[in-house]
Structure 1
């Protein structure tokens, strides 16, 4: 059995030495890199060969890769690298890595073409100047073979270990049994659907009710399928930290099985954001500044070995390894992702523009499964990933603090910026595209600022750096601007007769075109949540393939456990809110007096919440109340939730779609009811109207309103109502307060197990079933 490794991964393992050095280098975007490669090839003769697939075996190692180009007339193998700034500023260990790759490709080509010697060239192409620098060395095939074997010998011991681990892992997973005495109701159905889709290599959308154990119900079947489907990696992706912990807890339980011990079982890795993992936030990521970057690659082998021996690496364990070896824990994590079986992290690690897990999957040709928890959140998260904003205030701040050499470029950008909205009369306007003059000014300014920052590594002008990275993100999305996004300008508050500035936005409306390649790169993906209905909405907007399977798992709960009462005599529309306050407070007080306990009351905004809460406090001072406030800290959130105890009573006021509307678990008498005083619809404003127009143009006018307003709104309502019934012994009540809940198109979006009543048809409008 041979161990397969890509040339790039082989060299990254064997050829890197010295410090971690991430000093500012204004690297080109992926599209610019492809264009740079094309520009180099366009200057080559017709006989030039590009993207040559190469492979060879050495002992038990199979090495494969794709060489950038070969000129048969000159007998020259070329490794093309694109860059910005000054070539001499490139760290020496980066150049050494490039040579290692080029020489291995040269040997593989000599072997394929039976050449005795070859010229090996590093071609550095300056994206900004459109010039190339050629560095050429002549090599005998025999010396290149020796170079190749040296690198393989350095890697083979590790490859042997990895093959032994893989065999032991697969044997352990094959023998693994479900780590609980029995499946919960509904959990087995979910697991069976996930397992079948994994075996078929077919993506799956799974709607499964809260409380059935979705985390274990998806992890277990995928892990069981890994040996049979040759799955290399499992990525468990979440929207929130709490979701990560649930996955880690489930994996710890699975890993604790005797046949799946720490030494022979799955390797689990938790990914943590850079700003949370950094030990020295006041220092730069290079050996001259940070002690944890000093000699990083020299110390890495010992730390890597200890980490994989530990097998279970949550952020605490990983930090401890980093401390023992004096290595940056964040960058150590990036290295260990290559050698882990299960990686738990945020959505952005696979779905974002610069997603590390996605790029490693493509570069290493991994066979992966992606599990996306609480996947209803992925639409909005992905929109943010593929949107970019530029604020005029940031430009002006950077212009004021910039050195004289940058003033002209930033002034020119400001002129083009202001010209773009000179004739705009409304505060918000969508444009057909980015004005060419503005785009050119951004390109010029970003290039000049990037060169300056590359030459002045110690510069601490945060306003300039912020502007620069904002411009880069904006320009990268501008390269792929299409019907999935809009370009809009928002005028900022006016001073006198003139606006005080403008905010430019490339706003993604439909993330599907960006996410489609992510799903295509995965052997198998499962998006699961308690609210993924209707499935066509999520499949269309997220870019899941048309043949993606769908399962709606039956709930383990009984209709008798939850009274769902529609208060259709009340309207919570904006124009009716003042009239709605009194009946809402009266309803809440009546329900509480009928059955004292803990309740959550949800509103569409903090303003609406405050109005109802003030009235309730005046009218019913004897009933305990507490509220969610804007920008709550973690300690404040914990204090809010601590009010919900088995023996306590009161009403918590919260905002629908906020921190207390999903992802919290208050079983039993900790929460016995909820009031939802809104339909949850997004606010009708110019941005959301533009979203509706985009949905109509892409998916058809009949879907426009539902995709932009109705489905996102009802998803929040169902999530909030789902806080009440958490186990098969809970009982509770949910009041849906708005006349629109009686509409057939709205009722169709309710969970199937709900039995809906109407307040004007029942005498006891809220008495719980005991």
Structure 2
């Protein structure tokens, strides 16, 4: 297909390097196949995919549903749609496109501002339904009965919210009313993959008349686990006991059960501490029976019933409808419904001085394959998929064609060193190995008068390096050090990230200490000078807990030993490493130095990004780090 045969009506730019190749691939294949696209951040995936499929979708009367990992990312495709819309207007074309960024009730409910504290999605949803049912939401009533001006340009989340506030209408139900006219609907993953939430879209769109685009699709492998995860803690049980007293619920059988369950959870917590274990699989039916009851569907439903009454009472008082009894009942009911499903286990996990019971769903392909079949076509895209064939098998996508595209990378812009003398292999990092890492990091930082990041394979490894003097070494160079911690609040993390970026333009440069399993290793952008070097301390494998062993065994059962171990344990770690390396490369003009600080990386080079292997050197001691960087990276 040459350029003359492409439908470029919706493409507002001139093609940059390799973009036309991807555009052609999409238009050539979308009518017959599902697509898997691997392209780096900064390539322009969003605008290419949108403008390539819009003419096809319009011609066939299909909608485009764009799914992103979080609600905060849903604006991105609509921002691109706005550019396309302006381009069409400048060309005086008759085509008019409309799109909306959909957000949940937690972000959209104006009435929830009367609540006494912050509420989660489920709590806001119940609050909303109760107020509408009792005719107590003036915003919903105004939307139903008042005149609302028509809008025909793509709408971001903030624009919908501001519009609704201006006309005092419900922004949540207003955005849903616009779905019928929208060419593009941007949503977070929950609206596609969460059965309880996806009905919101399914009620308004026939998925067979929609093309689904899943952005950052590398997140799919373990998404089901997080969506289906429900848990209770020791605090949940204690809260349930308190609610039974506070709300005068007279059911001695349930009260006795709760008291025994509290003691049983404490017993299991002490066992985990004594054996120095993080988690163990448990048989919930045996625990419930030991606590004096039979585990069946009625048990969870009865406790939920008490919880609902408490929640409705709180709504009448304009309080957050939170109930420990409801959470406990919902957990017991969900766990019972899933108890015979292969790939679902109940895990007891130690959390400092607390313990949790959680539903752990290890399934992937068997759930996704049913979802993909509901749509006309599916496009999965990301910059870190690894092997397209392996990824397709993991997420159960059939009838697909795949495409990998990349920047035209200049070898002189990148330098990678693999340390033959370092490894984090083992349960703990010995002091002598930690000292070798610190000496190597010192040489690395000394050789680059630029902002650099040290991504450790875990927070535990990062803490070991700090305990052995890493901070003192870095400050002596001198460098300003920025440390990401495991439970750092989002607003604090954002401020730290911005401060680190600004340090790139100061005389004393910054060093970011973070985990390759944390929030800074994926999703954070460091263009140009903001990040020029990345040192990976080890390979970010999952810690070999009971949970990890269960996952590996489940995958081995499905895919066989070799594939099972690779898919469940090795591939996720290499993907995390790739994300961390990619923080320094956001455009074809970026320059970066990488140190792969673990000799085991040699086995996985073919799975790493091209930019990190194009100019590769093996080193046998830390003296070589400074020497090679100063000679080879100019």
Unaligned runs of 5+ in 1: 1-172, 495-499
Q: For the pair shown, which has the larger CA radius of gyration, 1 or 2?
A: 1
Offset of 1:664 from its aligned partner? 2.4
Report what 1:627 is aligned to.
483
Partner of residue 511 from structure 2, selected from 629, 651, 659: 651
Residues 644 and 670, structure 1, Cα contact 8 Å, conserved in 2? yes
Report what 2:123 is aligned to.
none
Report what 2:471 is aligned to.
617
Q: Does 2:14 correspond to 1:187?
A: no
Partner of residue 419 from structure 2, selected from 567, 577, 594: 567
Offset of 1:613 from its aligned partner? 4.2
Q: Does 2:184 correspond to 1:318?
A: no
Alignment of 1:128-139 (within 5 A): none
For this pair of structures, how many residues does the alignment match?
Answer: 585
Q: Partner of 2:519: helix, strand, or coil?
A: coil
Compared with structure 1, are the counterparts of its residues 583 and 204 closer, same or farther at alpha carbon in structure 2 (3 Å cutoff)? Answer: same
In 2, the alpha carbon distance for the partners of 1:184 and 1:175 equals 14
Offset of 1:251 from its aligned partner? 1.6
Compared with structure 1, are the counterparts of its residues 357 and 391 closer, same or farther at alpha carbon in structure 2 (3 Å cutoff)? Answer: same
Residues 46 and 80, structure 2, Cα contact 8 Å, conserved in 1? yes
Q: Does 2:360 correspond to 1:507?
A: yes
Residues 420 and 438, structure 1, Cα contact 8 Å, conserved in 2? no
In 1, the alpha carbon distance for the partners of 2:36 and 2:451 equals 34
Q: TM-score, normalised by structure 1?
A: 0.69
Compared with structure 1, are the counterparts of its residues 174 and 213 closer, same or farther at alpha carbon in structure 2 (3 Å cutoff)? Answer: closer
Partner of residue 268 from structure 1, selected from 99, 105, 115: 99
Q: Does 2:213 correspond to 1:213?
A: no
In 1, the alpha carbon distance for the partners of 2:93 and 2:372 equals 31
Report what 1:583 is aligned to.
436
Aligned-CA RMSD value = 3.5
Q: Does 2:237 correspond to 1:405?
A: no
In 1, the alpha carbon distance for the partners of 2:10 and 2:316 equals 56
Offset of 1:422 from its aligned partner? 11
Offset of 1:618 from its aligned partner? 2.0
Compared with structure 1, are the counterparts of its residues 415 and 650 closer, same or farther at alpha carbon in structure 2 (3 Å cutoff)? Answer: closer
Compared with structure 1, are the counterparts of its residues 433 and 189 closer, same or farther at alpha carbon in structure 2 (3 Å cutoff)? Answer: farther
Report what 2:619 is aligned to.
759
Alignment of 1:281-680 (within 5 A): 281=112, 282-283=114-115, 284-285=127-128, 286=130, 293-294=137-138, 296-297=140-141, 299-300=143-144, 306=149, 308-356=150-198, 359-360=201-202, 364=206, 367-402=209-244, 403-408=247-252, 410-411=254-255, 413-414=257-258, 417=261, 427=272, 428-431=279-282, 434=285, 437-440=294-297, 442-446=299-303, 448-449=305-306, 452=309, 456=313, 458=316, 465-469=323-327, 471-472=329-330, 475-476=333-334, 478-490=336-348, 503-545=356-398, 547-573=399-425, 574-613=427-466, 615-620=469-474, 621-624=476-479, 625-629=481-485, 630-645=487-502, 647-648=505-506, 649-680=509-540
In 1, the alpha carbon distance for the partners of 2:442 and 2:349 equals 44
Residues 407 and 588, structure 2, Cα contact 8 Å, conserved in 1? no
Offset of 1:714 from its aligned partner? 0.5
Compared with structure 1, are the counterparts of its residues 326 and 413 closer, same or farther at alpha carbon in structure 2 (3 Å cutoff)? Answer: farther
Compared with structure 1, are the counterparts of its residues 477 and 228 closer, same or farther at alpha carbon in structure 2 (3 Å cutoff)? Answer: farther
In 1, the alpha carbon distance for the partners of 2:57 and 2:553 equals 43
In 1, the alpha carbon distance for the partners of 2:536 and 2:524 equals 16
Compared with structure 1, are the counterparts of its residues 442 and 537 closer, same or farther at alpha carbon in structure 2 (3 Å cutoff)? Answer: farther
In 2, the alpha carbon distance for the partners of 1:242 and 1:448 equals 34
Residues 292 and 326, structure 1, Cα contact 8 Å, conserved in 2? no
Offset of 1:256 from its aligned partner? 1.0
Offset of 1:360 from its aligned partner? 1.7
Q: Does 2:110 correspond to 1:253?
A: no
Residues 285 and 295, structure 2, Cα contact 8 Å, conserved in 1? yes
Offset of 1:583 from its aligned partner? 2.4
Report what 1:176 is aligned to.
9
Residues 414 and 591, structure 2, Cα contact 8 Å, conserved in 1? yes
Offset of 1:215 from its aligned partner? 1.5
In 2, the alpha carbon distance for the partners of 1:244 and 1:288 equals 27
Offset of 1:660 from its aligned partner? 1.7
Compared with structure 1, are the counterparts of its residues 195 and 465 closer, same or farther at alpha carbon in structure 2 (3 Å cutoff)? Answer: farther
Offset of 1:562 from its aligned partner? 1.3
Q: TM-score, normalised by structure 2?
A: 0.82
Q: Does 2:607 correspond to 1:749?
A: yes
Compared with structure 1, are the counterparts of its residues 258 and 679 closer, same or farther at alpha carbon in structure 2 (3 Å cutoff)? Answer: same
Report what 2:275 is aligned to.
none
In 2, the alpha carbon distance for the partners of 1:534 and 1:432 equals 37
User: Larger relative contact order (C-alpha < 8 A, sep ≥ 6)?
Assistant: 2
Report what 1:720 is aligned to.
580
Q: Partner of 1:183: helix, strand, or coil?
A: coil
Alignment of 1:65-80 (within 5 A): none
Offset of 1:287 from its aligned partner? 5.0
Report what 1:738 is aligned to.
598
Offset of 1:653 from its aligned partner? 1.2
Unaligned runs of 5+ in 2: 1-5, 116-126, 273-278
Offset of 1:710 from its aligned partner? 0.7
Residues 256 and 262, structure 1, Cα contact 8 Å, conserved in 2? no
Offset of 1:675 from its aligned partner? 0.3
In 1, the alpha carbon distance for the partners of 2:139 and 2:76 equals 36
Offset of 1:433 from its aligned partner? 7.3
What CA deviation, in whole Å up to 9, does each residue of 1:705-747 have, x standing for no partner?
222221100001011111222222222110000121122xx22
Q: Does 2:620 correspond to 1:769?
A: no
Report what 1:198 is aligned to.
30
Q: Kindly indicate which of the two structures has a greater share of residues assigned to helix.
A: 2
What CA deviation, in whole Å up to 9, does each residue of 1:530-585 have, x standing for no partner?
1111234432332322x222222244223332112111201123433422332223
Q: Kindly indicate which of the two structures has a greater share of residues assigned to strand.
A: 1
Compared with structure 1, are the counterparts of its residues 292 and 713 closer, same or farther at alpha carbon in structure 2 (3 Å cutoff)? Answer: farther
Compared with structure 1, are the counterparts of its residues 240 and 455 closer, same or farther at alpha carbon in structure 2 (3 Å cutoff)? Answer: closer
| Larger CA deviation: 289-298 vs 247-256 | 289-298
